[in-house]
Amino acid sequence: MKLDKRLFRQIKAVRIFLVVTVILGLLLGVLIVMQAHYLSTIINAIFLAGQGLAQVWGLLLALLVVIVARSILLWGSDVAANRVAMRVKTTLRERLFAHLLALGPDYTRGERSGELTNTIVEGVEALDAYFSQYLPQIFLMVLVPLIIVVVVFSVDVLSGVVLLVTAPVLPIFMILIGMMADALTRKQWKLQSLMSAHFLDVMQGLTTLKLFGRSTVQQETIRSVSERFRHTTMRVLRVAFLSSLVLEMGATISTAIVAVEIGLRLLYGQIAFQPAFFVLLLAPEFYLPLRTLGTRYHAGMTGSAAAQRIFEILEIPIQAGAKDDSAMPEIGTLRFEDLRYAYDGQRDALRGVSFQIEPGQKVALVGPSGAGKSTLAHLLLRFIDPDSGTISVNDVSLQELSAREWRKQVAWVPQRPYLLNATVAENISLGYPEATRDEVIQAARQAHAHEFIEALPQGYDTIIGERGARLSGGQVQRLSLARAFLKNAPLLVMDEATSNLDPEQEALVLEAMHRLMQGRTVLIIAHRLSTVYGADRIVVLANGEVVEVGTHQSLLRAAGIYKQLVEAYGGAV
C-alpha cells in the first residue's frame, strides 16, 4: 500500500474531517454487522421457525433503519473525504504558486513553463482521488474487517480463523503488483508533463515554426510523444486491471472457502443455520474494503507520482529576506560592492563588481554579451541574491529590506515586456492597480501610447491577447513605458527598450524614455550604444568585471574596450 508521508502531513489543517471519516468508518462496520444479524435472524425466523410477518415486523423495521443509516453514513463519509481533498488541494496549490513566486524568475527560467503549469493544475488535481478515495479507503480497509472478524470470532471461531488466514493474501498481492506499477506510474506522469511542456512550446513558437516550415516536423514530434504517453498509459492500465483481477479472484476464492467450510459443517449439523448464514453474509463484506482499495489503488499511485514533483518544487530553499514591515529608506546613493555571483555555483557571472550611482544620476551598463549586465539588474531587482558582496541604498543593504517593498521603489522597463491577456488599462495599471482611469490615460499620453490605444476597437477596454499578440513591438514597448510613468517610482531600471523597432517607433519610444528619466535615478542596461552616449557615467563590464568607468568622451579617449564596442557598433568616435 502506497502511503506518502508528505501527503499525509497535509491533512493537519483538516484533520477534523479525517477523524469524522474514521468514525464513520467504524460506525459503518457496526452497521454492516447489524444488517447481517437482522437479515439472518429474519430469514431464520420465517423459513425455519415458521413465523409470520407480524412476528418479524419489528426486525424488518430495524433492518430498514440500518440500511438507511448505512446509506447516510456512506454519504457522510464521501462528503468528509471530499472536503479533505478540496481543502488540501487548495492549500497545496496556493503554497506551490506562492513558492514559485518566491523563487522568482531565476528559477522559472531554468524550467519549462508547460511542465510547471501541468504540475500546478493537473498535478494538484491528481491528488483529489488520493484524498477523497484512496486515503479514506485505507482506513476502511483496516477498521471494517477488524470489526467483522472480532464479531465472527465471537460467533464461530473456525470461520474467524479462515478469515484471518486468507485476509493477508490480498494485501501481499497488492504490494507485489504495486511495486511493478510504481515505476510505470511515475514514468507516465513524467511523460504527461513532457507532453504538456512540448505542446506549450509549439503553441508559443507557432509563427516561427510556420515561417521556417518546421510545423510538420513538430507535428511528428508531438505524435511521437503522444504515442509514448499512450503506450505507457496502457501499460499502467494493464497493471491496474491485473491488480483488480487478482483481488477479485482472491476475494471470491476466499469467500468460497468460507462458504464451503460453513456449508459442510451445516450439512453435518456442526453449526446452526442462523449463525452460519450470519457468517456467510459477513464474509463478502470482510473482503469488500480490500477489493475496493484495489480499484482505487491506481488513483493513489497517480497522486503519489504527482506529489513527488510538487514536493520537489516546494522543498527548493528560498533565501531568507527581511520582513515586509522593514523600514524603507529614501532612494539615495546606490552602492554595488564586490558583487560575486555564479550560476549553478559553477558559471561565474560577476567577479567582484563595484561601482555606485548617485541620486538623480543616469548610469549605463555596457559590455559584450555575457558580461553580467542582466545579472546585475536581477540582483538590483532582488530576483536573485549575490553569493558575496552587497548592494546598498543609503548604506542599508538590500538584503535587510523587504524585497516586495523595495520593488515598489523601482520601475522596470524590460527589453521584452510581458503583457497579460487582459485590457489595455489593466496592463498599464499592473504596478498601480488603484490608479484612476484619468491617471492611466495620462501615463499613456506621456508614453505616446494614447493615440494608438484610442484607435483600438474598445479603446482602453480592449483585450490585447496573450503577450500582447494583437499589438506591434513598438506599441508593446510604449505600454511598458506607460506602466513605468504610472508607477512613478524614484529608481528606474531600463533594459534596452528600443531593440528591434523601426525608426519611427524607435523615435517615439526614445522620446518617451528621455521624458521618463527626468528627475529619477536611472540604471540603463545598454545593448545599442546610441542610447548611452548621454549618460552621466558609463560602466563597462567584461567577463563579469568592471573594466572601465567614465563618460562617453573620456572612455573614447582611453581607447579601451568601450571604444572597440563603439567602433563595432558603428557609432561616432
Query: What's the pLDDT at 15?
Result: 75
Count of alpha carbons within 13 angstroms of residue 458, beta-carbon side: 9
Tell me 461's DSSP state.
G
List, for residues 390-421, the tens digit of each pLDDT value.
998 888 888 888 888 888 888 888 877 888 88
55/163 same-domain check:
yes
User: Residue 559: is its pLDDT beyond 50?
Assistant: yes
Give Cα 444 distance to the centre of its chain.
35
Are 125 and 89 contacting, i.e. CB atoms less than 8 angstroms apart? Answer: yes
> Which helix H or strand E contains 523, and what residues bound it?
strand 521-525
Q: pLDDT band at residue 62, thresholds of 50, 70 and 90? A: very high
300/342 same-domain check:
no
342/205 same-domain check:
no
In a domain, 320, yes or no: no
409/282 same-domain check:
no
Mean pLDDT of 328-351: 82
Q: How many structural domains does the chain have? A: 2
Q: Which residue has the higher pLDDT, 112 or 85?
A: 85
In a domain, 560, yes or no: yes
24: exposed, middle or buried (C-beta count within 10 Å: 0-12, 13-18, 19+)?
A: buried
Mean pLDDT of 369-397: 86
CATH number at 94 reads 1.20.1560.10
Q: Which residue has the higher pLDDT, 73 or 247?
A: 73
248: exposed, middle or buried (C-beta count within 10 Å: 0-12, 13-18, 19+)?
A: middle
Cα–Cα separations (whole angstroms), residue 289 to 19, 29, 148, 237, 317: 18, 10, 12, 21, 41
The domain containing residue 359 runs over which residues?
A: 334-569
Q: Dihedrals φ, ψ of 49, to 5°?
A: -90, -10
Does residue 407 sit in helix, strand or coil? Answer: helix
530/394 same-domain check:
yes
Query: What's the pLDDT at 47?
Result: 85
Query: What's the pLDDT at 573?
Result: 43
CATH number at 550 reads 3.40.50.300
- pTM for the model stands at 0.71
Q: pLDDT band at residue 326, thresholds of 50, 70 and 90? A: low
Mean pLDDT of 287-311: 78
78/189 same-domain check:
yes
Question: Which amino acid is residue 311, in one-letter code?
Answer: F
373/259 same-domain check:
no
Query: What's the pLDDT at 68?
Result: 93
Does residue 457 sit in helix, strand or coil? Answer: coil
Helix then strand then coil, % of the chain, to nearest 5: 65, 10, 25
In a domain, 323, yes or no: no
Mean pLDDT of 248-275: 87
In a domain, 143, yes or no: yes
Q: Which residue has the higher pLDDT, 533 or 146?
A: 146
In a domain, 321, yes or no: no
Q: pLDDT band at residue 3, thresholds of 50, 70 and 90? A: low
192/263 same-domain check:
yes
Are 156 and 271 contacting, i.e. CB atoms less than 8 angstroms apart? Answer: yes
C-alpha angle 399-403-409 in degrees, rounded to nearest 5: 110
Query: What's the pLDDT at 544?
Result: 86
Q: Which residue has the higher pLDDT, 534 or 556?
A: 556
364/310 same-domain check:
no
Residue with cell 520593488: 407
480/382 same-domain check:
yes
Q: pLDDT band at residue 66, thresholds of 50, 70 and 90? A: very high
User: Residue 572: is its pLDDT beyond 60?
Assistant: no
Does residue 550 sit in helix, strand or coil? Answer: strand
In a domain, 79, yes or no: yes
Query: What's the pLDDT at 69?
Result: 92
Q: What integer best gives the mean pLDDT of the chain? A: 81
As a whole number of angstroms, the distance between CA 85 and CA 125 comes to 9
Q: Dihedrals φ, ψ of 378, to 5°?
A: -70, -35
In a domain, 450, yes or no: yes
